[in-house]
Amino acid sequence: MSVDSDDCLHKSRQMPRLTRQQRTVLEVLQQLAQPISAQSLYKTLRQDHRSIGLATVYRSLEVLKLQGLVQSRINRQGESLYSLVQQDQHYLTCLKCGQSTPLDSCPVKHLERQLQQSASFTIYYHSLEFFGLCQPCALLD
Amino acid sequence: MSVDSDDCLHKSRQMPRLTRQQRTVLEVLQQLAQPISAQSLYKTLRQDHRSIGLATVYRSLEVLKLQGLVQSRINRQGESLYSLVQQDQHYLTCLKCGQSTPLDSCPVKHLERQLQQSASFTIYYHSLEFFGLCQPCALLD
DNA sequence: TATTGACTGATAATGATTATCATTATATCT
DNA sequence: AGATATAATGATAATCATTATCAGTCAATA
SS3 B33: coil
- Provide the pLDDT for residue A127: 87
- Provide the pLDDT for residue B99: 80
**Chunked mean pLDDT (size 10), chain B, 141 residues:** 35 69 96 92 95 97 92 86 83 82 80 80 88 79 56
Domains, chain B, ordered by start: 1-86 (1.10.10.10), 87-141 (3.30.1490.190)
Does the beta-carbon distance from A131 to B127 stay under 8 Å?
A: yes
Strands (E), chain B: 36-37, 70-74, 80-84, 89-94, 100-102, 121-134
When comparing pLDDT for A86 and A3, which is higher?
Answer: A86
Average pLDDT over residues A28-34: 88
- Residues of A in CB contact (< 8 Å) with B are 8-9, 65-66, 68, 71, 74, 78, 92, 94-96, 101, 103, 105, 107-108, 110-112, 115, 119-135, 138, 141
Q: Are B96 and B109 in contact (CB under 8 A)?
A: no
- Provide the pLDDT for residue A107: 76
Tell me if ipTM is over 0.85: no
